[in-house]
Amino acid sequence: GDSVTQMEGPVTLSEEAFLTINCTYTATGYPSLFWYVQYPGEGLQLLLKATKADDKGSNKGFEATYRKETTSFHLEKGSVQVSDSAVYFCALSEAAGNKLTFGGGTRVLVKP
């Protein structure tokens, strides 16, 4: 079945540091890929998505590129802020039923 693996946290960074969260997936077909973010005490918000190979999703300074050859969708941000402290989830969805399969989440803590 489908699965998503992302790096375990917590990831602790200083403000303005570069952030990378690795995400790899296993899927039988051609999934859409997503990054969701969960701020403390809140629900999940879509951060960005990509629907086909080589697509780049971007939002709020975050970027991720759909790499079919390496089955990866790594999240990057060039200069993090304290407000980026959250749990980040990589996820995939295949057409059959649009079931989201999530990775385990990566907690990011940005210190001033």
Partner 1 sequence: DTAVSQTPKYLVTQMGNDKSIKCEQNLGHDTMYWYKQDSKKFLKIMFSYNNKELIINETVPNRFSPKSPDKAHLNLHINSLELGDSAVYFCASSWSVSTDTQYFGPGTRLTVL
Interface with partner 1 (CB under 8 A): 31-32, 34, 36, 38, 42-46, 49, 51, 87, 89, 93-95, 97-102, 104-105, 107
Cross-strand pairs, 67: 72
CB of 51 to partner 1, least distance (A): 7
Closest alpha carbon to 8 in 90, 79, 82, 63 = 90
Residue from 96, 109, 85, 97 nearest 29 by CA? 96
Between 42 and 69, name the residue whose CB sits nearer to partner 1.
Answer: 42
Least Cα distance to 25 among 1, 44, 47, 45 occurs for 1
In the complex, what is the shortest distance from the CB of residue 10 to partner 1, in angstroms, rounded to a whole number?
11
Q: How far is the CB of 46 from partner 1 (least distance, A)?
A: 6
